[in-house]
Structure 1
Amino acid sequence: MASSSSSARVNNKAALASASAAAAVASASSSSTVPAPVPIPASATAPTATLGELIGQQLQQLNPDELIYKDELQLLLLLTPVQRQKLSRELEDGDIGASTSSAPLSRPENPEEDDDLIGAVGGLSLASPTTTTAATTATTKEPLLDFRTHVLKWFQHLRHQTGHFKSEEESRRLREAGNDSYRKEKHPLKASDLFTEAIFLAPARNTLAAALAHANRSLVLYDCGLYAESYDDCLCALDLGYPEEYLPLIKLRQAACALKLRNFALCEEHLHELLHVELNQVFETRTHELWHQCEVLKVERFEMAVQTGDDLDTNDSKAFEIAWLDNSSSLHTTRAVAKNALIFESEAVAMVPSGNCRVCDNCGITQFIPFPCIYCSNRLVVYCSRQCRFKHAPIHAVECFGHQIELFESFGEVFGMPRLLQLALRMLITGLPEMLAHCRKKPTLSKLWSAINGGLVERQDIAYSAVLRLERLREEHASETVIALALASHVLAIYLSKCTTFFEQLEKSLPSASRMSSAEWELLCAALLMRHIGQLRHRSLTLCRSFVMPADPHVFSPLNEFQLWASPMRLQEGHLHLLAGEVAVVSYAVYPDTLSLCRHSCSSTICSKQSGRKMTALALLDLPAGSGIYNCFASGNYQQLRREERTRQLKDRGIRCHCNACQLSHADDQFHKFHRYRCDNPKCMEVFTPDALPHAPNLRWWLSEDYTQPECNGAELIVCPRCGEAQKLEWFWSFHTSLIDCELIEERCKLYAAIERAEGHLMDLHECKVALARLLVEQCLMVHREGATVLDDWEFNKLGSIMRAVLPGVMAQYGGQSIEYVKYFAYFWDVMALSNYKCNDRELMQMLNALEFIADEFKDIFINYYEDYIAPKFAEESYGSVVDTQV
């Protein structure tokens, strides 16, 4: 699972060099020392060096103090395997192009090592050199490490060691299980999950298994009413070699799907195809039935009245503008903006999934029927439709071979955020070809780099220019972190050169008379990748958060997921908290014209809603014209994190905060109001806020195993500063002891009593109240759901009262427009759905309004859940028309 922090994580199997490289990447300071790495084996027959060892050895041979540079291109030049003294003289002369031509980015010692790097879809088939010229044979070995040679060996090693979990036999077994589930159990949702797993496990070398799984799933999806997905499955089956003897079956299903989608021309096209094929009596009868239905629907078709834009009360004037000061940007409002009003919305220019859940690689949604790339070995790349797969094809053509050898996963052994490198790669491959199309003169590397830093950046008609204008993290010295990232950029540039046709695409973007060597393209792309990484380490990286299923992120279609659903987009009663109970970062994105240009403030003035690639920013308060638009770039605002933690996170991103919330003498007062205790010493009983706890960031000790393990019972967790007494916390230990056996009514009564006792010690809006309420409701709903015991009305009323009491605290800390508020009231909705417990009009309206701030696919699921289970219970009161109620 990708981490959102800047700390590195290292493969336990890596040697000391891997650990040293990881430490260099994780370190935010340039003063950290790196242990001597393990040397790379010199044998060319067994290239077993890891990426960490490659980077570690390069760091060992480099002195950061000697690397003086003004931009990314000069840094990459300094890292090339040439004599540094000669390179320094060339840099002083300013002839970058000459230095590059005489000293390429890296020169392979053994050209034959480039062989066997073949990408099935996005890659380039590389033939071995048939001859070796005398000049090549006589090439002198570079005085420094042949980094490029070892990188190519590493690529080959990855290709040979990449584990393939795909199995034709396992795919067949799951397909048969899906058939049994559909025909015998009459459970189409379970069958759909089984067929999806069969598609994931089907090998690329024999696509028949995948074709059969797609065809079987298309039938199930048709019965579930997912006609567009069913039609796409039919197309996938045909593309992958579905047997010709069953062709009428697929064509008939395509015609039926097209008819359901009211695409009459497409339906008639497939029916015409069937009429030219020899059909048995059943298929011929069904074909004529569909033809008749199509003709009837065409006659009955009528144009619906559509409200035009002239009928709507809209304000199309732009609500913000970009202001530039001292080479930095900020957003300001151009007119007065009311609270909850739209300020801006935009789509990400680049986006990558985080790895925490299944995400469409193109549009970024999380709830969909997956269509994987059959060539990717790990099936990490999935799409919600063939249309998204087609739109994403230019990007995936470059990345596919990287997924086949699990290149991006290998970066995770060294770097804390490997997806940041992949996002930088996508920024490059989507923008650079467009920019090169505007280069009319014959460019050299130096002229092209000057243009990228000069006139091309100011162009408003080039989308990539907005990306290049983004501010980036600037460090005074070449720290080990910077050098490690530069070497990683070098690795990606070598990948683009040797494993893809990307450089050929770049050549086509230039005038026909213009040609640059592969080494020059490597150098240019590595420098641009380094720039994008610096931008992402500053303000440009947006963490897109949404609900995730609590499942292994590498299992895309858990076989028990079907138990949640009553039908597509409609959950079983009491299962909403299982879908919405966990919130995590699902993708990383870049918004160069909007969110990345906002100034930082720990008291943000906007609330950003993420729905796939689309981001919508709404005002958190009334903003007068000309006021700044501020966003919080820390993981929490002044009510959710202490100033010390916010400052640390912002420092890592090169941001210094001078907002009002940080300038107050008691800057943590707003945070402390969610962490106040009443001393349990009968002689004191004073209200206090504890000091910092060593193993509990931001005072959330109940989340730390260092404090909640049984052996910690009675430990001096919290000490009252007034009387000096350690808090006994008997209510907490009693709660956790009874939670283990909560299927017993006696233990549940102890839980309710512990919650009541905690009320006397956790003051006002304490965060721990919310955590305990959630644990209690979650465990009790699990007991009720699994049938171990059935909760009665008294217990549901108890649970409803407990959960309802903590929701104002969640709203106060996170806001009524936050995904956290929706996360917690999902538990409350399940209690209401399973019982007769009710809330008032105002509370329910607040919950429904909060749904406007979550992803659209989850909003639809919540609305369906409300209509299915909650609104009918209030039909006799005013709740049936609560959507029209004004608060």
Structure 2
Amino acid sequence: MASSTSSARVNSKAAPAAIAVATTTTTAPPPVSSSSSAPVSGPASLAGAAPPAPSATSGFPAVTLSDLIGQQLKHLNPDELLHKDELQLLVLLTPVQRQKLSRDLEDVELGASTSTAAPLSRPENAEEDEDLIGAVGGLGISSPPTTKEPLLDFRPQVLKWFQHLRHQSGHFKSEEESRRLREAGNDSYRKERHPLKASDLFTEAIFLAPARNTLAAALAHANRSLALFDCGLYAESYDDCLCALDLGYPEEYLPLIKLRQAACALKLRNFALCEEHLHELLHIELNQVFETRTHELWHQCEVLKVERFEMAVQTGDDLDTNDSKAFEIAWLDNSSSLHTTRALAKNALIFESEAVAMVPSGNCRVCDHCGITQFIPFPCIYCSNRQVVYCSRKCRFKHAAIHAVECFGHQIELFESFGEVFGMPRLLQLAFRMLITGLPEMLSHCRKKPTLSKLWAAINGSLQERQDIAYSAVLRLERLREERPSDTVIALALVCHILAIYLSKCTMFFEQLEKSLPTASRMSSAEWELLCAALLMRHIGQLRHRSLTACRSFVLPADPHVFSPLNEFQLWAAPMRLQEGRLHLLAGEVAVVSYAVYPDTLSLCRHSCSSTICAKFSGRKVTALALLDLPAGSGIYNCFAGGNFQQMPREERSKQLQERGIKCHCNACQMAQSEDQFHKFHRYRCDNPKCMEIFTPKALPHAPNLRWWLSEEYTQPEFNGAELIQCPHCGEFQKLEWFWAFTTSLIDCELIEERCKLYAAIERAENQLMDLHECKVALARLLLEQCLMVHRAHVSLLVAHFSHYSTFHFIVFILVIRITYH
């Protein structure tokens, strides 16, 4: 196994290359089995699950990703891995593949290091096909015999790791806990008459329901459908009814669910669907109550059909539109960029586009298909971590082809396991999704009998230039190129190989690819693995360069999609309607909710630390507006660092950009006083009465971008009064007594004496923090959040807290600054 130093080396070098990401820590559920069609392609197929996997034994080997990668790195010399493209690198890293390939790569120059390798042979061992896990899991793994050569051991070790992940799935799901929450929801609905609170409880009952017994989830879906119907969410209520039926809702309660479906269809003005369900009810033996309700719905349907009328619709001739594109793709130095086609005024729309691939960041529940944050989530019942949710069954159906490939990976928490070694596991998942989304589409355009070498040459040539294939735009994206393969590059290549093995042994993806090719052609699994691993490596290089987009959105302080003791459901009087006096509870922040790729628009923008566009995200869509007047033919620039010249110092920006292979020479970086805009938000007045000079501190070792109030190295109690910031004029360290007094009093802000101390600390801070200091924003936010948490249910008390006019004025002023600045 790999030594600890090898594993640490991979982690320390891979993380910086992965830009920045917020990873989520999840507790895995017990192993779940399902059929190959299980992941949301149709709930009817979900019920027919394969037998459960065998339980883990005490002697099962503890295989980790660090072990797999560290073991390979010990036996690899980067100087011997010289290559001209990704396919060559994968061939050099996986010599076992060269013994299994069916066709000679005569068109690929392998170099001197592979000239003496064994010829590529056609057949694969028939026994190795018996270790398939299944498209979505269900069968065990029988690992092939190992050899002494470490590189040849990689495949069976990967399969053992998959099996280990499957057996170590956690147990956060509980049928008993799901039943308890469902009963609590029933009490809330019947006794408290609070359908929104009941809906939250039923939602958590769905998330906790085990997949081995889908009845618990079916009952929770059925109960939630009733609560949603009362809230006026008829489409979501109808979807819940379908989910309940698909997951095995008891047949004796079938009239109840069918009656609700008919009522939802009637509310949605889908009269044909309503009549269909009423016909189904008429063929079922009903009691008097259900029969009466059925005839009532039938009468209402007939009345509404008679009263229906066509509404006037505005035609295209009545609209003032301009269909000409505001941008075009220009080529310079063998690379593409965006330029304006006409003069654009400030705030004018430049482009709107939809992501070709998107993955949620894990910060909140986001629809895996459309990317919106939804009020009513529909999770995949078979994914152990339950992170895959949809806003509707329609989105779930559209995403079924992708999720069918990913579902088993979520069952064993494969993508989350990459966080053990890499700083950004979501980057790997996004590259994976780019591949499984685009490659099948591209192969359908291959008419000749392909070989691996010819297919790879076409992907780098004619297929890349096609304008009618969406995947071609992805392949044309620039990627990060390194002069020699580093440990990070090798580790990423090994992970690409692991994902290719996953596609081969755990899914039916390669079989689907074979169907896209002409009948006479066939490629072996080893060839498909090499091709997919090489394409994954290319996509990772693109994401490490400029193509990765962090989609930011407004997120509430406590995610309303997760039930919590803070009772966020009390915000709402009705769907999309806040209770009076609750607007202030929406004091949230802008957070990264997903990562996406926009190959035709945002990824083609040139970099500049003073961006000329403002990107707004809504689900998968991005809208770019001009930040200033742009003449015709001017370049369209976007900042690819973590912050622009106002939010981040030049040295920090340069470091981040270098990791992405970008050398910036924009005007903001070339100015003699390039840091003035950044320093404007970090100026202090020295608290030494004999000095009182205004200054900006130098870089702080544990506080990126001078935001020391965000660093635990400075804000822990033992650092109270520590020497943090030094005045360059008099050499005195700033006492920052107001900050320590503020943080101490903030804990007990419900006490009036502590609130007085808070107000005094804020006034002292205003004397030392100059102009639009970012720390002012932090203080205002901390005060608001703490007061809202303490008096969330007592708004009148909260208003009393802000009776002090100067403090209230200060907080409002700071919030206005925050909104303007960000």
After TM superposition, the score normalised by the length of structure 1 is 0.83
CA–CA distance in 2 between the matches of 1:49 and 1:149?
11
Task: Tell whether the 8 Å contact from 2:179 to 2:205 is kept in structure 1 after alignment.
Answer: yes
Q: Which residue pairs with 2:699 in the alignment?
A: 692
Does residue 1:300 correspond to 2:314, yes or no? no
1:532-561 CA-to-partner distances (Å, cap 9, x unmatched) read 0000101000001123344589x9444634
1:10-41 CA-to-partner distances (Å, cap 9, x unmatched) read xxx99555333323423559xxxxxxxxxxxx
SS at match of 2:768: coil
What pairs up with 1:252-263 in 2 under 5 angstroms?
Answer: 252-263=259-270
Change (3 A) 1:245 1:659: same
CA–CA distance in 1 between the matches of 2:416 and 2:123?
24
Q: Give the counterpart letter for 2:87 in structure 1.
A: L
2:80 to 66, 83, 94: 66
Does residue 1:529 correspond to 2:545, yes or no? no
SS at match of 1:795: coil
Query: How many equivalent pairs are there?
Result: 776
Does residue 1:180 correspond to 2:187, yes or no? yes
Change (3 A) 1:393 1:793: closer
What pairs up with 1:755-774 in 2 under 5 angstroms?
Answer: 755-774=762-781
Q: Which residue pairs with 1:76 in the alignment?
A: 90
Q: Give the counterpart letter for 1:26 in structure 2.
A: A
Give RMSD over aligned pairs. Answer: 3.0
Unaligned runs of 5+ in 2: 19-56
Does residue 1:384 correspond to 2:400, yes or no? no
Task: Tell whether the 8 Å contact from 2:72 to 2:151 is kept in structure 1 after alignment.
Answer: no
Q: Which residue pairs with 1:792 in the alignment?
A: 800
Q: Which residue pairs with 1:291 in the alignment?
A: 298
Task: Tell whether the 8 Å contact from 2:788 to 2:798 is kept in structure 1 after alignment.
Answer: no
CA–CA distance in 2 between the matches of 1:330 and 1:809?
34
- Deviation of 1:50 after TM superposition, in Å, equals 0.7
- Deviation of 1:86 after TM superposition, in Å, equals 15
Does residue 1:162 correspond to 2:169, yes or no? yes
Change (3 A) 1:28 1:347: closer
1:319-347 CA-to-partner distances (Å, cap 9, x unmatched) read 00000112211101101111111111111
In terms of mean alpha carbon deviation, does 227-236 or 285-294 score higher? 285-294
1:432 to 431, 439, 455: 439
In terms of mean alpha carbon deviation, does 533-542 or 311-320 score higher? 311-320
CA–CA distance in 2 between the matches of 1:264 and 1:240?
26
CA–CA distance in 1 between the matches of 2:812 and 2:714?
28
CA–CA distance in 2 between the matches of 1:212 and 1:27?
46
Q: Which residue pairs with 1:402 in the alignment?
A: 409
Does residue 1:358 correspond to 2:365, yes or no? yes
Does residue 1:813 correspond to 2:802, yes or no? no
What pairs up with 1:175-574 in 2 under 5 angstroms?
Answer: 175-550=182-557, 556-558=562-564, 560-573=567-580
Q: Which residue pairs with 1:117 in the alignment?
A: 133
SS at match of 2:420: coil
Task: Tell whether the 8 Å contact from 1:767 to 1:809 is kept in structure 2 after alignment.
Answer: no
SS at match of 2:792: helix
- Deviation of 1:568 after TM superposition, in Å, equals 1.9
Q: Which residue pairs with 2:21 in the alignment?
A: none
Change (3 A) 1:268 1:325: same
CA–CA distance in 1 between the matches of 2:446 and 2:96?
30
Unaligned runs of 5+ in 1: 1-12, 30-42, 130-135, 815-887
SS at match of 1:489: helix
- Deviation of 1:195 after TM superposition, in Å, equals 1.0
Task: Tell whether the 8 Å contact from 1:547 to 1:579 is kept in structure 2 after alignment.
Answer: no
Q: Give the counterpart letter for 2:208 in structure 1.
A: L
- Deviation of 1:262 after TM superposition, in Å, equals 0.9
Q: Give the counterpart letter for 1:118 in structure 2.
A: G
1:762-812 CA-to-partner distances (Å, cap 9, x unmatched) read 111111122112222333333443549554386164453112222453355
In terms of mean alpha carbon deviation, does 488-497 or 724-733 score higher? 724-733
Q: Which residue pairs with 2:8 in the alignment?
A: 19
- Deviation of 1:66 after TM superposition, in Å, equals 1.0
Task: Tell whether the 8 Å contact from 2:132 to 2:505 is kept in structure 1 after alignment.
Answer: no
SS at match of 1:185: coil
- Deviation of 1:45 after TM superposition, in Å, equals 7.4
- Deviation of 1:367 after TM superposition, in Å, equals 2.6
- Deviation of 1:379 after TM superposition, in Å, equals 1.0
CA–CA distance in 2 between the matches of 1:708 and 1:401?
42
Higher relative contact order (CA 8 A, sep 6+): 2
- Deviation of 1:197 after TM superposition, in Å, equals 1.4
Task: Tell whether the 8 Å contact from 1:543 to 1:585 is kept in structure 2 after alignment.
Answer: yes
CA–CA distance in 2 between the matches of 1:581 and 1:189?
21
CA–CA distance in 1 between the matches of 2:571 and 2:821?
30
1:715 to 719, 722, 729: 722
Does residue 1:50 correspond to 2:58, yes or no? no
CA–CA distance in 1 between the matches of 2:619 and 2:97?
48
Q: Give the counterpart letter for 2:780 in structure 1.
A: A
Q: Which residue pairs with 1:884 in the alignment?
A: none
Task: Tell whether the 8 Å contact from 2:13 to 2:487 is kept in structure 1 after alignment.
Answer: yes
CA–CA distance in 2 between the matches of 1:552 and 1:294?
39
SS at match of 1:543: strand
CA–CA distance in 2 between the matches of 1:273 and 1:282?
16
Change (3 A) 1:84 1:427: closer
Change (3 A) 1:98 1:728: closer
SS at match of 2:502: helix
Q: Which residue pairs with 1:859 in the alignment?
A: none
Identity of aligned residues (%): 81
1:384-411 CA-to-partner distances (Å, cap 9, x unmatched) read 1000000000000001111111111111
1:741 to 748, 751, 764: 748
Change (3 A) 1:159 1:790: closer
Q: Give the counterpart letter for 1:413 in structure 2.
A: E
CA–CA distance in 2 between the matches of 1:472 and 1:492?
20
Does residue 1:658 correspond to 2:665, yes or no? yes
CA–CA distance in 2 between the matches of 1:52 and 1:206?
35
1:626 to 628, 633, 637: 633
Change (3 A) 1:188 1:671: same
SS at match of 1:265: helix
- Deviation of 1:297 after TM superposition, in Å, equals 1.3
- Deviation of 1:621 after TM superposition, in Å, equals 1.3
SS at match of 1:763: coil
CA–CA distance in 2 between the matches of 1:24 and 1:106?
38
After TM superposition, the score normalised by the length of structure 2 is 0.89
Task: Tell whether the 8 Å contact from 2:68 to 2:157 is kept in structure 1 after alignment.
Answer: yes
CA–CA distance in 1 between the matches of 2:329 and 2:73?
41
Does residue 1:647 correspond to 2:618, yes or no? no
Does residue 1:729 correspond to 2:736, yes or no? yes
In terms of mean alpha carbon deviation, does 509-518 or 672-681 score higher? 672-681
Task: Tell whether the 8 Å contact from 2:552 to 2:594 is kept in structure 1 after alignment.
Answer: yes
SS at match of 2:329: strand
Q: Give the counterpart letter for 1:284 in structure 2.
A: E
Change (3 A) 1:519 1:302: same
Task: Tell whether the 8 Å contact from 2:71 to 2:150 is kept in structure 1 after alignment.
Answer: no
Q: Give the counterpart letter for 2:14 in structure 1.
A: V
CA–CA distance in 1 between the matches of 2:9 and 2:121?
28
Q: Which residue pairs with 1:605 in the alignment?
A: 612
Task: Tell whether the 8 Å contact from 1:574 to 1:781 is kept in structure 2 after alignment.
Answer: no
Change (3 A) 1:244 1:784: closer
Q: Give the counterpart letter for 1:804 in structure 2.
A: V
Q: Which residue pairs with 2:812 in the alignment?
A: 804
- Deviation of 1:510 after TM superposition, in Å, equals 0.4
CA–CA distance in 1 between the matches of 2:374 and 2:428?
26
Change (3 A) 1:98 1:298: farther
- Deviation of 1:714 after TM superposition, in Å, equals 2.4
